[in-house]
Every structure is written in structure tokens, then in C-alpha cells.
Structure 1
């Protein structure tokens, strides 16, 4: 599996550094953001997608629980808090684990084993609700499977835990988030240009400062954090 992009949110510097130190011991984790407030994390998530969030509950301003409610599209959430009485509430928000402060590395390591097992099963079970072979994706629709050729997909659009595969004639909805799809090597021809969009390079007609235009006339927004990705096309 490719590394999982993760963020750490805790308003206590010592606790942030402890989680950061432990997380760095696992190559499967790619730390893309460390924040001391929910507001800063949400601003980052406006233009970025992550796979894992390590959250404290009690933060200055919005709480970790409020942050999770606004970011349910993140596949894995782990709460790390001294407020053990809130554990039950966190599991109503699709939480993988709850670590009580203070804690030591063996507890973090135990959580990581659960995380890797969960992501492996999730990827195998949910990948498009379909089977993939060659240049073809078989998208599950009810009891049927519809064949979609990869080279006919113009772009991918994220919709919470789902992704829309857009072709000239149809939109196919699959149960898999955009990050999971792009992690598959068969989708190497797709370029992520926004938190919610990835386009197939061969269909890019025109690149603007805030959007790109495809051959069929569709316009796709460009996120600030993804502009550098377009250098491979220019």
C-alpha cells in the first residue's frame, strides 16, 4: 500500500510533538499537516484530501468532535484525548480508535496495526465495488456490472465517500473515495487538480489560473495546493 496522508490536530504542543514523533516511526504514514486548532485544519482540508486524522477533543475554538463532523470524508479518524468520557460519542463519528492521554508508544503501535488492517480490508472490499482488468473497469450497479473503458473517462469527481467517473455519455457512481482510486497504478494517467477533481491528462485543452478546460468544453476548478501538479502537463 502507498503511504497514507495524515494530519495531527492538538492545541497542546507537547502532545502534538509526541504524536508526530510516534507517527514518523511508520513509513506508511505521510504527515501532511500539524495544526493547533480545528479552524486551521479545516482551512487546510478545503484544498487537500487526507486519509488519516489524529484529533484531540478539547481544542481552543471548535472541538475535535466538531472538526470530525465537518470532515467525515476522511476514512480513518483516531481521537487522542484525556477525556475518556467522550469515547462513546466519538465512535458515533466513524472513529477507528480512541487513545487516552497520557500514553506511550506501544499503545500507538497497537492502533497502527488496526489502522493498516482496516485500510487493507477497506481497499480490497470497496475498490469501485468492481473488478478491474486491463483498460476496463466493471462498475457494479445493482446486480449487474457495467463495463467502462478507462480511456473514456474524462475526469473523476469526489462526492463524500463516493467518486463519480465521468465519460462523454454517462456518470458512474462508485463506492470509493478519490484518493483510493488515484492510488491504483491503472489511474496514473489522471492528474489531481483539486480536492474534489482529477482529470485525464490527454483531455486537457487549456490551463487557466483558476480552472482548466477539457476537450469537450467542460471546465474543472484548480485548487491552490494542486497547481504544481499541472507542471507535468505544461
Structure 2
């Protein structure tokens, strides 16, 4: 699971605290470096591998956009300002996004989706190999290849991995939309299974080791062709015996 190194170029302590709180809640960032001047930011960019920059426009007496002009190659840049008129100049410099202060966490998530090419919702973050889901008050990482199956629990869901499980603050219906369909399929009203964790199956059930999960008739068409093919093979075998 990839994590990111972030640089915040901002001279307002209150703005830094708010932004860092938002970012820390996501558990996506390995490091968050803060600079209050453009010179400090340029030095960090020379010394560290940075994956994302949050850049305030008004840095003391400097224009933060000068940082973009001074560096030919930069990671994705999200520009921030309390003044809307800076937006045009920002997009002319091909930045990833422009956020007008004060911004909400939901607005920040949209910017991160665009800048990092990932998928983040209020209660979850989805990448190529994992999903972060809210467990109590923190986002917890669940690697796709470690999830056996997911069970409905009212407005929540239980994610099973081996002999353990975690209750997450998302419903099965929401998770069905968030998980990659090439790996995860809903097999009845109460279960989503990881196709790669299935150890055997027949016409009516899939098995993950000793766990038997019934396949509902209305969900059978949602399974990959390999399952329908096996179902036909099972029928042929039953008819020949």
C-alpha cells in the first residue's frame, strides 16, 4: 500500500493545524513537512522526495505561485487561498487543483482524489491494493488479498480475514460499490466474497476453507463466467451419476 510524503507551504499556523488534522485522519501520509517560506520549501524539494504539495498563495510578502514557476518539475500541487481571483493564475500553471479557504474536509478529499488519482470518500479510501475503512474513530487499512469475505451487520459490516474480523462503519451496499469487482462479488443479500479466496464451490454455495456461503439465485448472474461454467459442469456430473 503506497503512502505519500506531503509538503505544506503555509505561513498561517491555524491553517497548518487544520490541514494536518484532516490529513492525519486519512492515514495516507508517511511524512508531512511544513515550510513557512518559499526558500525553505525549495530546500525541502531538493533534499526530500515529495509526492504532493499544498501551496498557499500569500506567503508573507511572497507569491506562493512563484514556487511553481521556479521549478520545472514538481509533484502534484494543490493551491490554497482565501481569494478566488488567484484561481485563474493557478490553473494557468497547470496545478492539480485550487481550494478556496476556508475549505471543508469533503472539498479536500475531492482535491486529493484529483491530485493523487485515488478514490477517497468520507469514510473510506480506496487504492489499487487496499481500502482504508473507518473502525471506530480511525481509518484502518485492509489489503484486498487478505480479505476473505464481508458480512452485513445492519448499517455496518464485518470484514473477515482468517479467524478474525473487524466491524467497519460502512454498509454492505456501500462496500459493494467501493471494492473492485474483479476481486469482490456479492453472492447474496448478506455476503460479499473475495473470489481469489474461494477454495471450492458448487451450484448453491461457495466455500472459503470451511466457511460455507450460500449463493442467492438473484446474485448468480453477477458471478464471473467461470462460476457459471462450473455450475454447468456440476449439473452434467450429477446427471451422469
Which bin holds the TM-score, normalised by the shorter protein? Answer: 0.3 to 0.5
Q: Larger relative CO (CA 8 A, sep 6+): 1 or 2?
A: 1
TM-score, normalised to structure 1's length?
A: 0.47
Structure exhibiting the larger radius of gyration computed from Cα positions: 2
